[in-house]
Amino acid sequence: MQTEIVTKDQTKFVLQPNLKDYEALYKNFDWKNVHNEIEWFDNGELNAAYNAVDRHAKNHNKNKVALIYEAANGKIDKYTYLDLKHMTNKFANVLKKLGIVKGERVFLFLPRIPAVYASFLGTLKVGAIASTLFSAFGEEALLDRLGNSKAKAVVTTPDLKQRIDKIKDKLPDLTYIILVNNEPIQKIEGQSAMPITIDYNEEMKEASKEFEIEKTHPEDHAFLLYTSGSTGKSKGVVHAHMAVLQQHYTHKLIHDIHPEDIYWCTADHGWVTGISYGILGPLSNGATVLLYEGRFDPEGWYSALERHEVTLWYTAPTAIRMLMKAGEEITKKYNLSHLRHIYSVGEPLNPEGIRWGLKVFNLPFHDTWWQTETGSMLISNYPCMPIKLGSMGKPFPGIVAAVVDDTGQELPTNTEGHLAIKPGWPSMLRTLWGDEERYKKLFNNGWYITGDRARKDEDGYFWYIGRADDVIKTSGERVGPFEVESVLVEHPAIAEAGVIGKPDELRGEIIKAFVALRAGYTPNPELEEDIKKFVKQHLAAHAYPREIAFVDKLPKTRSGKIMRRLLRARELGLPEGDISTLED
């Protein structure tokens, strides 16, 4: 079904859907047949940043707005594709001047500002590996990720740099801190201490806007993202330049993105959604991207949707529920008629959210399923097919998904099991940084085992049931209980701690901690608040326990492992199951 867009200046666009017949395409799909969707160098070489920016900057799109930046203070700046080419080239030259070469890791610890685009894409142009950090991360989370990756450089701001300063002595490989600052950095004569602070603004002014891009192999590593697991430290998921093919094409067919679209992905660049569908996917498709720095606020969000005439909107179920909570009357103050498709990501979207979208925007939220490890959307609800409320949707063409048992055998229709994907899709993770053995364990009998539980119905729609491990999904973000527990036991009052996810109407899940105190400490509200503040400071602002229960001891196996399953069962009034391994 075609869509007509009318802009403020009365310009009209009639857009034909990019995907009209899902079943026909799925039946005959081959990734090799869509390689021409992106641009390749000679000898089959490929660079994701070139596809996102440079190929548009050399054609009719060069003067088209690629990025609209609305700062927290309301100031709006616009950057064309040619501007982005020059910005990213300049940053690539800054890295080259510092001696950073192919394969070295450059981290971005930044708020939502244009420097994110310049530094992420500029890093890819050099052939170095880019990695992004959520700006709410505390010292422990930063030390874990920067240390594990042996990061060579971090791009950050003065405020965020203060957290890195507290741990930099434990990061022997960190050579440069590239500081994005409104004021010139005061240079200290004879400074030799590592890491060396570099003035981003000054270096960018001096750098050439011309750069010979690194012609990377499709399998060369492009970006590295850390994601929480149920046990141990966070794992570094590595993606190749080849991922841009799938990010481009899934964005084109699932989100139905066109060059005429104004697109807003509300996800932070610290998470995979902000990379795959906040930077690479939309730019590769030649669209205009909105970068909104402000915090969540219903009035602010609706105002931004109206002001920038957003046509495609990708957000999270938690944000949708918060907008629902604000009521539908507020939406009547804004003209949101230019919205043509709206989407959801991060956690399952309940049917109420879809019904609300239909009522308020006259549009359904199309839910999408994927993971940091998958690199792009794999199972989705498409504009061209009916939505089954609460369903994950159907696999993208070229993706073979199934529900399997513990041995990797496919299960019958409507039977719960492990959600599994046949390996080999273009945006699949290539390894886990420095842990090939852990990477291999993600696969079983010819399947990538996602860690999610699901069922498949008689029409081929998949239905999410829950996590197979203890990973907590709070406000759409994955939090590993082990990471939270590790920080909790560093608090001087806590002897041991166990963490679970507790269902929550607004956030999907909240983190609840069960803590046993050391001798000399007694439970009280002041101590509870101090513990929460401690976790926020050391791990992340979104990863603190919203509820804390003080207990005499925690249920453990005879080998000393905390039984989170039992904590959850007791908290939610569920059957305790087999407790034969419980210590006496």
Same domain, 358 and 489: no
Q: Give the CA angle between residues 61, 62, 68 to the nearest 5°.
A: 85
Evaluate whether residue 272 is within a structural domain: yes
Same domain, 38 and 187: yes
Q: Which residue among 365, 396, 425 closes a domain?
A: 365
**Whether residue 109 sits in one domain with residue 239:** yes
pTM, two decimal places: 0.85
Instruction: Give whole-number Cα distances, 540 to 214, 442, 533, in Å.
Output: 35, 26, 10
Is residue 116 within 8 Å of residue 205, measured between CB atoms? no
Question: Would residue 581 count as lying in a domain?
Answer: no
Q: Are residues 354 and 477 in the same domain?
A: no
One domain, residues 97 and 226: yes
Q: Of 239, 178, 571, which Cα lies nearest the Cα of 431?
A: 239
CB 284 within 8 A of CB 51: yes
Write the pLDDT tens digit of every residue in 480-525.
Answer: 787 788 889 889 999 888 899 999 988 889 999 999 898 899 999 9
pLDDT for position 8: 61
Q: What is the total count of domains within the chain?
A: 2
- Residue 175 in contact with residue 195, Cβ under 8 Å? yes
Residue 307, CA distances (Å) to 68, 299, 322, 376, 515 in order: 11, 12, 21, 29, 48
The arithmetic mean of pLDDT across residues 192-203, rounded, is: 89
Residue that terminates a domain, selected from 315, 339, 365:
365
Q: Which of 332, 347, 365 is the last residue of a domain?
A: 365
Which of 196, 209, 344 minimizes the C-alpha distance to 265? 344
Distance in angstroms (rounded) separating the CA atoms of residues 183 and 199: 9
SS3 31: helix
Looking at residue 580, its pLDDT comes to 47
395 is a domain residue:
no
Q: How many residues are given for the chain?
A: 584
Domain membership of residue 294 (yes or no) is yes
Q: Is residue 318 part of a domain?
A: yes
Token output for 562? 């905390």
Strand partners, 205: none
Q: What is the pLDDT of residues 422-469, one digit of tens each?
A: 999 999 999 999 999 999 999 999 999 999 889 999 999 999 877 777
Distance of CA 106 to the CA centre of its chain: 17
The pLDDT tens digits of the residues spanning 396-427 come to 999 999 999 999 999 999 998 999 999 999 99
Structural domain including 105 reads 13-365
Q: How far apart are CA 533 and CA 537, in angstroms?
A: 6
Asked if residue 561 is part of any domain, the answer here is: yes
Rounded Cα–Cα distance for residues 258 and 177 (Å): 38
Establish if 290 belongs to a structural domain: yes
Does residue 432 fall inside a structural domain? no
Scored b (16 or more CB within 10 A) or e, 467-489 reads bbebbbbbbbbbbbbbbbbbbbe
Distance CA 177, CA 175 (A): 7
Phi-psi sector, 262: left (phi>0), alpha (psi -120 to 50), beta: beta
3-state secondary structure of 179: strand
Whether residue 185 is found in the same domain as residue 53: yes
- Same-domain check for residues 355 and 486: no
CATH of residue 547's domain is: 3.30.300.30
CATH code of the domain containing 307:
3.40.50.12780
Task: Please check whether residues 305 and 184 belong to one and the same domain.
Answer: yes
